[in-house]
Amino acid sequence: MRIVTLSTETQQNILNDLLKRSPNNYSQYEATVNEIIENVRTTGDRALFDYTLKFDKYNLNAENIKVTAEEIKAAYAQLDEELIQVIKKSAENIRTFHTKQLRNSWFDAREDGTILGMKITPIARAGVYVPGGKAAYPSSVLMNVIPAKVAGVREIIMTTPPGADGKVNPGTLVAADIAGVDTIYKVGGAQAIAAMAFGTQSIPKVDKITGPGNIFVALAKKAVYGYVSIDSIAGPSEILVLADETANPRYVAADLLSQAEHDELASAILITTSRQLAEQVSDEVDQFVDQLSRKEIMQKSLDNYGYILVAENMKDAIDAVNEIASEHLEILTANPFEVMTKVKNAGAIFLGEYASEPLGDYFAGPNHILPTNGTAKFFSPVNVDDFIKKTSIISYSREALEKVHKDIERFAESEGLTAHANSIKVRFE
């Protein structure tokens, strides 16, 4: 891996590099995506069937668009029993963590008859998109579905592309069943996003769409936002390790590659105050890349978006961490908890040498659907709040309103909204 001295200039160059990977920079595909969305919006199932035949080579129709109970049963039979038990344990950890996020409606009543409050209501129907083929990740099914279930969403549907034989990845089906998906549809791509956003003869319209996908899926989610809610427009995966001289270089190298293997656009960055550690990690990375199975992907990821930054001190290192705002941040320092208190921007923070990033991906419980491309400065991981609505409650007695009615009238009149003022005034004529 390239070793670079951290400076204002090198930091900005890296930020510019990373932002090139954002889905916002793929406008050349937007016309295609918009055409797909419009076709699904106007012709419904017919467009879904045509696109599935074109892209997935499967002859989809109204009779086979839903995954059947028999197909789910067959998926269980295809999976190793130990793996099924691991998925169940992971699901329970995710459920336990997200249950702690639940909110209750609240009301504040005063003696003068003022009642203010917030009513918490789950959305009615959520839609989850799950990639197919080699990009099928059962862990992401759990991370999308379980927070919605905990929030109390009444109905959860899932779309995922079929293979040419009409089958869906068995791990995806088992995870969906364990998580509690109500109905699974064999549709993928931008057309699946459009179907969930507008509804078709077979697929109902949802209130919110979550889940990762390729650039066409990301752009489709961006295009339908406003007709429905979405979780985010996810970019490629990324990891940032913040380490000092106490870190184990072998652990750091292994953790950097855990994200570099995702795809060629993935980013893996080490920021350290130790040049010796930087050199040791670079050597370890080279050795691991030669041993691991996704060598070509990892090497291209590292060549394009892999960096080791050597900082003069920990303050400069932390400042760079906050500016990059990585999806995953590992802190491997002498006192990681103290350093953590100074970090403002990160999707998920992993503390200490035994909290490596895959722990969060698969098992610990916190959500692994995280803000990417610097959006951790203003976005959060997927959580229970993503599947609820908050409604304000306001009630005043005559006594309470009488005390303030002239203030309200004056404010409304200052904005030239006399009907607003009159709506209050008539109550005290």
- Enumerate the active-site residues: 327-328
Asked if residues 215 and 264 have their Cβ atoms less than 8 Å apart, the reply is no
Q: Torsion over CA of 413, 418, 421 and 422, rounded to 10 degrees?
A: 150
Asked if residues 346 and 325 have their Cβ atoms less than 8 Å apart, the reply is yes
Q: Is 107 exposed, middle or buried (0-12, 13-18, 19+ CB in 10 A)?
A: exposed
| Backbone phi and psi for residue 319, each to the nearest 5 degrees, phi listed first | -60, -40
332 forms beta bridges with: 243
How many angstroms separate the CA atoms of 130 and 152, rounded? Answer: 21
Asked if residues 413 and 123 have their Cβ atoms less than 8 Å apart, the reply is no
128 forms beta bridges with: 158, 210
CB atoms within 10 A of CB 96: 12
Asked if residues 285 and 1 have their Cβ atoms less than 8 Å apart, the reply is yes
107 forms beta bridges with: 117
> Hey, what amino acid is at 144?
N
How many angstroms separate the CA atoms of 139 and 413, rounded? Answer: 56
